[in-house]
Structure 1
Amino acid sequence: MIGVKPVRLLSVCVALGSLGFQTVYAADVRINGFASVTGGATIDQGSTPQGDALYFVDGSHGGTYSDEITFRPDSLYGLQLIADMGDGLTATGQIVGTGANDFNAVFNWAFLSYELTPNTTLSAGRMGYPLYYYSDFLNVRYAYHWLRGPADTYTLPINEFEGVKLRSTYDAGSVTGDVQLFVGASESNLNGFPGAEPFVHENIIGGNSSIGNEWFELRFVALQADTYHENEKDIASDSRFFGVTAKFEYGGLLIIGEYTDFEFDTPLTVTRQPPLPTFLNEGQSGYLSVAFTFGDFTPHITYSTRETGIEFDTLGEFSAENETWTIGARWDFHPSAAAKVEFNQSEDKSSPNYQAIAGEALSVDTLAFGVDFVF
């Protein structure tokens, strides 16, 4: 397998990008921005040994809602810079700050792309990790109907990776599609799992492919990697991820469904805290969403579910599972801005022996509202 050191590759990429900016004075630089100002709170929640259940908005930022209104968990801002240096070479950078991380700016993208042919592009550096259908623009929430991506599915905290990606598009009459192959590494935190330890995703080898026409699209993704906690490379576990998406869009009607599955050959340590060290070994998730746009309004409804295999040291394996109904609406009140409101009702379907330990940690109802805009 190919091992890519994240820091070294990123440094090389940034250095090359800087060299390009210094020597190509006629570069065409575009700057795009996006932001979300969102507030919310839980309005009903189950009880746990630590208190009332919280609602985790995603696994990458780690924001949570409680019964007090807050604007931090879902709010974010971002700037994207794209420099076209001519002859098929471009440099891309993206800065994102989230309320869950005190709005500190993070350079989450920094990569170079070279157009090998009109239909094939090679990219290298730090870029979006194409696990999910909306991965490439998950932070640009203006781009989709939800207030946020379905938290039950968009739960793995791996939004970026450092490596190399080859993308090829094709057009066969009424059918279009693309194929992407990628290798690299990533470091991440299990923010969606309280008390989790950082882990490394190394020797990533994966690919995804989409095919469709003007009203239907299918997408597949699969990858494998070595996964381990920092300073524990000698006990790295083989990990695998698979996902499939189907999307139907005709007129004002949108129907989209996504299913994902991941597993670790050796359970990944979630927390070592006594008295019950906890391990994660597999998970499945999925959603089905229906939205209909008439004029400037888009009401929508989504059903999602997640099941996670968790092991407690000395107690064995348990199943943590929940089902969520999401009802919301989008109002495009401005050409570059959309107001959104969303209600989530999540019910804990975990096994009784898991609930005896964790309580109803996955039972929580949340109301959130906000404005997404681009500039």
Structure 2
Amino acid sequence: MKKIVSTGVATLAAFLSLAAQANEDIQISGFGSLVGGVILDGDGYFARMPDAAGQYSDGFEFKTESRVGVQANYHIKSDLNLTGQVMIRGANDFDPELEWLYLTYDLTPNTFLKIGQMRLPVFHYSDYMDVGVAFPWLRIPTDAYSLAFTNYQGANLDINFDFGEVTSQLRVYAGQEDTDPNKLITAIEQYKTEQRYNDRGVFQGVRGIRTTKDYRDLIGVVLDNQMGNWGLRLSYLDGREKFTFYDEGGYPSQPLFGGEWVDTQFFDVSLQYDNGDVLVKGEWNDYDNIYTSWFVTLAYRFDKWTPYVFYSNFEGVFRFIAPGGIRNGFEDSETGSLDDDYNSVGVGARYDLTATTALKFELLTFNDEGDAAVYIDKDRDGDTDSTSLFVALDFSF
């Protein structure tokens, strides 16, 4: 994967060099977000974004969710294009990493074949979840957008068609992906069972465990429909996955558990009404035997302002057995297991500075209803409730 990333960065750098020479066959675009947050109440907040971004604990934090993306499209010929995208994320110490690199072949004016590394299209906002100017909220409600991988390597077929007053796109895709480490799951497990405290009860960080997750035989289908102000999107993904957990010092030769392939399915449905002034939206998904999550939102646009409110919920299906049973004191008193069950309420506003730049504010209340710690748990009681204030500057170019 490191070789792929290095090749992708070099390829995009070549794109930019050619563009500087005014090559009319190359188009350059980009986007970014400067995101900051502060904890008003509680020990901290973890938005559970991909790459384990969205961690806030001390002071006013501007690094963890800030990001910049640059995308280049090279028109090889009239029906063949090469697209590359590089992301620079604060969560990854601002090191550039390849997100997308794929070829698009126009089979017909309404049928397109893509091959390469692409965004996994399981959610409504999958294709542009990093592009802050594309949605009203400061961040997409992450309780419902916490799948542990976002890209895949494979092939994708898009077919656009109309059926009466309904405009639709059918997407069929297949591929695979490896995540080593899986940064999101590793962080989740570290805060769930691997927090360290000294004799005075002061938080000392987390143990250096590592998790990996591989995906094979992925086959997905998406049907996206639009009729007037209404939109309905259905998404289904089927495949196999292998999760492996390594204790501190055990990687890569001594896995603690896991390492077996299991069948997996993911289903997502979103429904929205948007008349240009009022946006009402709901999205629900189910990750077979892992979790169910959803969110609902209301936003109202007037002049340059878009105030909004949302409620999101996450409920884990699988209960994790904590090391040592109930000795930590906050697991289920009978089974010694830990469950994930939490929700968020967000109230905020977007102000459009220009057509391509927006300023956003959000007050977020996170309610931890489960046994498992979601983030820093100084009381060590499994309760990681918090209230946070965030601000963001989103832009595109």
Which range, TM-score by smaller chain?
0.7 to 0.9
Letter in 1 for 2:319: I
The correspondence of residues 265-344 of structure 1 with structure 2, limited to 5 A, is 282-308=290-316, 309-312=318-321, 315=335, 317-344=337-364
Which position in structure 2 is the counterpart of 1:276?
none
How much does 1:186 deviate?
1.4
Map 1:175-254; keep pairs closer than 5 Å.
175-188=166-179, 189-191=182-184, 193-195=188-190, 197-229=211-243, 235-254=260-279
How many residues get paired?
341
Pairwise CA distance, 1:59: 3.5
Alignment CA distance shift 1:262-1:325 (3 Å)? same
Partners of 1:322 and 1:363 within 8 A in 2: no
Q: Which runs of 5+ in 1 are unaligned?
A: 46-51, 265-281
Quick check: 1:6–1:162 contact (8 Å CA) kept in 2?
no
Q: What is the DSSP-based 3-state SS (H/G/I as helix, E as strand, rest coil) of the residue aligned with 1:359?
A: coil
* Structure 1 residue 255 displacement after superposition: 0.7
- Aligned mates of 1:185, 1:149 — CA distance in 2: 25
CA deviations over 1:139-188 (Å, ceiling 9, x no partner): 11111101111110111131111111111111234210111111111123
Displacement, 1:100?
1.1
Q: Secondary structure at the match of 1:236?
A: strand
| 2-structure distance, mates of 1:223, 1:290 | 28
Contact 1:110–1:126 (Cα < 8 Å) also in 2 = yes
Match of 1:332, as an amino acid? D
Evaluate the alpha carbon distance shift between residue 162 and residue 6 of structure 1 in structure 2; reply closer, same or farther with a 3 A threshold: farther
Structure 2 counterpart of 1:105, one-letter code: P
- Unaligned residue ranges in structure 2 (runs of 5+): 191-209, 245-251, 326-334
Note if contact 2:141-2:312 (Cα within 8 Å) is conserved in structure 1: yes
CA deviation string 1:329-372 (max 9, x = no partner): 000011220000011101111159999x9634441111110210
Q: Spell out the pairing of 1:14-163 with structure 2 (5 A cutoff).
A: 28-45=25-42, 52-163=43-154
Q: Give 3-state SS (helix, strand or coil) of 2:91's partner.
A: helix
8 Å Cα contact 2:300-2:306 kept in structure 1: yes
Equivalent position amino acid for 2:363 in 1: F
The one-letter code matched in structure 2 to 1:349 is E
Contact between 1:322 and 1:362, CA under 8 Å: does it hold in 2?
no
Find the partner of 1:257 among 276, 282, 286.
282
| Structure 1 stretch displaced more, 359-368 or 102-111 | 359-368
Does the 8 Å CA contact 1:27/1:85 hold for their aligned counterparts?
Answer: no
- Contact kept, 8 Å, 2:41 with 2:386, in 1: the verdict is yes
**AA matched with 1:338:** A
Q: Secondary structure at the match of 1:157?
A: coil
CA contact (8 A) 2:304 2:353 kept: yes
CA shift at 1:85, angstroms?
A: 1.8
Identity percentage of aligned residues: 27
Aligned residue for 2:247? none
Q: Deviations over 1:22-78 (max 9, x none)?
A: 9xx976111001111111111111xxxxxx343235133433011411101221001
- In structure 1, the partner of 2:396 is 374
- How far apart are the structure 2 equivalents of 1:240 and 1:317? 24
Local SS of the residue matching 2:133 = helix
* TM-score, normalised with respect to structure 1: 0.83
The answer to whether the 8 A contact 1:56-1:151 is kept is: yes
